[in-house]
Amino acid sequence: MKHAPADSLNILVVDDEEGFRDLLKWEFVALGMNVETASSGDEGVALLTTIRFDVVVTDITMPRMDGLKLLEHIKTVSPRTEVIVVTGFSAVETAVYAMSHGAFDFILKPYDINDLLLRVKKAAEAYTQCRSCGRSAA
Amino acid sequence: MKLQTRILCLGLILAIISGGLTLGIAKRAFDAILIGQVGQIGTSEVNNLGEHAADGIRERSESVLLPQLQSAQQASGAHDAIALDAAGNVLAHTEITRTGEHYENAFHVDVLSSSDTVVRRTADMLIICAPVWEKHVADLGEALLMAGAPNDSAETRIGSIILEIPLARTLAVSSRIVDRLALIIGIIGLAAITGLVLIVRGILRPVELLIAGTEKIAQGDYGTEIRVSRADEVGQLAGAFNRMSRVLAETTVSKEFMQGVFSNMTEPLFVVGMNGQISACNEAALALVGYERSEVLGQPLGMVLGGQLCSLDKKDVMQEGWMESVKDAEKVLVNKQGTRIEVLYSAAPLKDVQGATQGLIVVARDMTERKTMETIIRRSEKMSAVGQLAAGVAHEINNPLGVILGYAQALTRRLPSPDDPSAVPLKSIEKEALRCKNLVQDLLTFSRVSKVEKEPTDLNKIVTAAISLVNAQARMGQINVVSKLSDNLPHFLGNPNQVQQIIINLSTNAMDAMPSAGTLTVKTELRDEGPLSWVCLLVQDNGTGIPSDLVSKIFEPFFTTKPVGKGTGLGLSLVHEIVKKHSGTVDVRSEPGFTEFCVKFPVRFTDRPKEAALS
């Protein structure tokens, strides 16, 4: 399992909408992050076996495996990875569900890209802190 | 006077007359019998005395006569006993002071001159007078002397004996007997009258039942039967009455019954005569056209139904229906107030028993309510279609929109300076994308209106919050925003976000109606209407006003008068939808220069202000 440098965050974007995947990849890459994309939950699961991600941004409504299942999977295989859940306008209930199952944050679609960036950065900080505390414990 | 009373009076009069007659006759009979008996006793005493008193009278000896008189007085119960000589001089009197009187009045002369015993009755006295004779051996000389005497026998009248017997006691006895008799007759009479009353009532009871039954039939209640269980003539009469009633019930429909059906039916009904003039109409018809009965009867139907303005022309009235029935034709008539009323018009010829046309029956059913219902149903169908459309499409639009918005925002952020030539197009992309986003959110609100959480809501608080948003918009159009909030408004059950949406939508609508400048007034108040209290939100503007023909459409989804791209046509329909979900009402009142939207939410008494529980 390869480790990214501390200043270069590993981000996974999971969304069945190609437009969103491209937008976020374009945005995060420009900010110097390593970005992988997946169009569904199971593709994300496959990527998680080879790469350790700091932050995962996932849509909820997707074919085959949805965002909530992916969230549960991530929290099982890589508990320290922070997950930001993106929900549709009318899915506040699912957002609440996601938060109670270990999601770091949620954001409603359509979102302000600057707002999302802010949340991703916060999640990365939380991940870093957690990793350092994990090291000190070790 | 009732028959019963008359019979009773007659009976009483008869009883009194017959009772009185009986008593009168009885009284006379008793008096006669009793006095007769007194007279007999007296007569026998007087005759007896007369036989023994001859010596005393001849000798004119009071001392001889007086004991004899007293004994007769006692035996006969007489008041006085008197002995007189032939000349009428009192020889002895039981009241001795009267001895020596001379009786010479007419009565006594008459009595004393009679050669037989005489009984005379005065008012209270029975006077019995008997002559006293002396037998002697007649010699020739005396016989000659006596030749002129009335008594031709060999006896000479030498005096008289008189007994005066008082009748008071006798009459009192008679009166007592008559009193008893009167009592008995009275009791018998009373019993007889009571019996008479009972008999009369027994006879009259079926008559009364017959009267009541007849009156019921007169009121149209055919089939009325009366129960009389008698076999006599009255029973036969009752039986005949019941048969008649049954026959009437089977064969007759009362005029009153028909009148009741006619005037109480809910459908407006006119009857038109052969001359085309209204000959009758019911209450519902008067209510429909708004005229008094007197204004309608005798008028041509076409005129009453709106004259020139009515879509029923003369042909409709005069020809349609006369030949064959017209059924449920949609027509418009105009009532007295000038209001156009859509009606379902039916007409059929009124035919008599022979089948000859007598007139026309016209029914005009008011369709206003049904039309209103149809509009409401159409609107709500449109609403639900919008809801389904929104739910199906919004998600799909949302995603590409999000991408466009995201790139625009990211690029804007990366511009080296705010004056960069790309700044304007990028800002424009972001702005338009945001507009689309708002439309999508309106649509999604539609599909979400039905599943809202409600809580006790303070309208004033929401208005205050919403006004701050409205103010920002108002400043751009030189619009003055005034809020007048009523104190002590009760809370109502509502969703604060949606109620805020109502205020913002109505305010935006009002501001759009005042393009240059104006005053937007937002008021709250409490109204009591019917059994409920209502919290009211009033949004008023002094803008252009809504044309009256558009008022009915403004709440329909996608209806807008704004230029393309300015309004989605969902603002007011969203207001309508939200208000409906709050069991409230929204009304609009508009004229040029003034428009008012009035939204009312019902207040339940349980919706008391409640502290928000924060956890």
B409 interaction partners in chain A (CB closer than 8 Å): 112-114
Q: What are the strands of the beta sheet with A105-108, ordered from one edge?
A: A34-38, A10-14, A55-59, A82-87, A105-108
Confidence band of B21 (pLDDT split at 50, 70, 90): very high
Contacts 24+ apart (CB under 8 A), A123-129: A123/A54, A123/A55, A123/A82, A123/A84, A124/A9, A124/A54, A124/A55, A124/A82, A126/A82, A127/A9, A127/A54, A127/A55, A127/A80, A127/A81, A127/A82, A128/A6, A128/A54
B413 interaction partners in chain A (CB closer than 8 Å): 114
**Inter-chain touch B406–A61, beta carbons under 8 Å:** no
Q: How far is B395 from chain A (nearest CA, A)?
A: 7
CA distance B91 to B226: 91
CA distance B16 to B8: 12
Tell whether B585 is within 8 A of chain A (Cβ): no
**Inter-chain touch B447–A19, beta carbons under 8 Å:** no
Identify any residues that bridge with B493 across adjacent strands, giving them in sequence order.
Answer: B456
Q: Which of B398, B407, B437 sits opposite A88 (nearest CB)?
A: B398
The burial of B609, by beta-carbon neighbours within 10 Å (0-12 exposed, 13-18 middle, 19 or more buried), is given as exposed
ipTM of the shown complex: 0.75
Q: Which of A22, A88, A110 sits opposite B405 (nearest CB)?
A: A110
Q: Which of A20, A26, A27 sits opposite B402 (nearest CB)?
A: A20
Hey, what are B336's tokens? 């007295």
Chain B stretch 531-560, residues whose beta carbon is closer than 8 A to a beta carbon of chain A: none
CA distance B361 to B309: 22
CA distance B15 to B23: 12
Greater model confidence, B595 or B155: B595
Q: Does a cis peptide bond (omega within 30 degrees of 0) precede residue A110? A: yes
**Contact criterion met (CB below 8 Å) for B234 and B203:** yes
Tell whether B392 is within 8 A of chain A (Cβ): no
Gyration radius (Cα) of chain B, Å: 62
Average pLDDT of chain B to the nearest whole number: 81
pLDDT digits (tens, 9 = 90+) for B22-31: 889 998 998 8
Q: Evaluate if residue A69 carries a pLDDT over 80.
A: yes
Hey, what are B558's tokens? 């996608």
A26 interaction partners in chain B (CB closer than 8 Å): 407, 410
CA distance B367 to B344: 7
Task: Name the least confident of B135-139, B293-297, B374-378.
Answer: B135-139
Q: Which of A22, A24, A110 sits opposite B398 (nearest CB)?
A: A110
Hey, what are A102's tokens? 């270990």
The one-character DSSP state at B554 is T
Hey, what are B564's tokens? 């393309």
Three-state DSSP class for residue B102: strand
Q: Evaluate if residue A90 carries a pLDDT over 60.
A: no
A63 interaction partners in chain B (CB closer than 8 Å): none
Task: Name the least confident of B106-110, B263-267, B471-475, B553-557.
Answer: B471-475
**Inter-chain touch B410–A112, beta carbons under 8 Å:** no
**Inter-chain touch B403–A114, beta carbons under 8 Å:** no
- Rounded to whole angstroms, what are the CA distances from B76 to B69, B79, B389? 11, 9, 142
Three-state DSSP class for residue B555: coil
Q: Which of B399, B406, B440 sits opposite A113 (nearest CB)?
A: B406
The stretch B408-417 carries a mean pLDDT of 88
Q: Of A113, A114, A116, A118, which to mutate for an interface test with B (greatest number of B Cβ within 10 Å)?
A: A113
Confidence band of B191 (pLDDT split at 50, 70, 90): very high
Tell whether A66 is within 8 A of chain B (Cβ): no
**Inter-chain touch A20–B401, beta carbons under 8 Å:** no
pLDDT digits (tens, 9 = 90+) for B233-247: 888 888 888 888 888
Task: Name the least confident of B232-236, B458-462, B602-606.
Answer: B602-606
pLDDT digits (tens, 9 = 90+) for B79-93: 888 888 888 888 888
**Contact criterion met (CB below 8 Å) for B535 and B584:** no
pLDDT reported for residue B146: 52
Q: What is the 3-state secondary structure (H, E, C) of B296-350?
A: HCCCEHHHHCCHHHCCCCHHHHHCCCCCCCEEEEEEEEECCCCCEEEEEEEEEEE
Query: In terms of Cα–Cα distance, which of A46, A102, A42 is closest to A72?
Result: A102
End-to-end CA distance of chain B: 92
Residue B588 neighbours by CB under 8 Å, 6+ apart: B546, B551, B554, B595, B596, B597, B598
**Inter-chain touch B413–A19, beta carbons under 8 Å:** no
- Which amino acid makes up residue A73? H
**Inter-chain touch A89–B441, beta carbons under 8 Å:** yes
- Which amino acid makes up residue B266? T
pLDDT digits (tens, 9 = 90+) for B310-339: 555 445 555 555 666 778 878 888 888 878
Q: Of A18, A89, A115, which to mutate for an interface test with B (greatest number of B Cβ within 10 Å)?
A: A89
Q: Evaluate if residue B512 carries a pLDDT over 90.
A: no
Tell me whether strands B278-281 and B357-366 are parallel, antiparallel or unpaired: unpaired
**Inter-chain touch A20–B448, beta carbons under 8 Å:** no
CA distance A105 to A83: 7
- Rounded to whole angstroms, what are the CA distances from B114 to A22, B132, B355? 177, 11, 110
Tell whether B398 is within 8 A of chain A (Cβ): yes
B443 interaction partners in chain A (CB closer than 8 Å): none
Chain B stretch 415-454, residues whose beta carbon is closer than 8 A to a beta carbon of chain A: 437, 440-441, 444, 447-448
B445 interaction partners in chain A (CB closer than 8 Å): none
Residue B61 neighbours by CB under 8 Å, 6+ apart: B91
Three-state DSSP class for residue B280: strand
The stretch B17-36 carries a mean pLDDT of 90
pLDDT reported for residue A35: 93
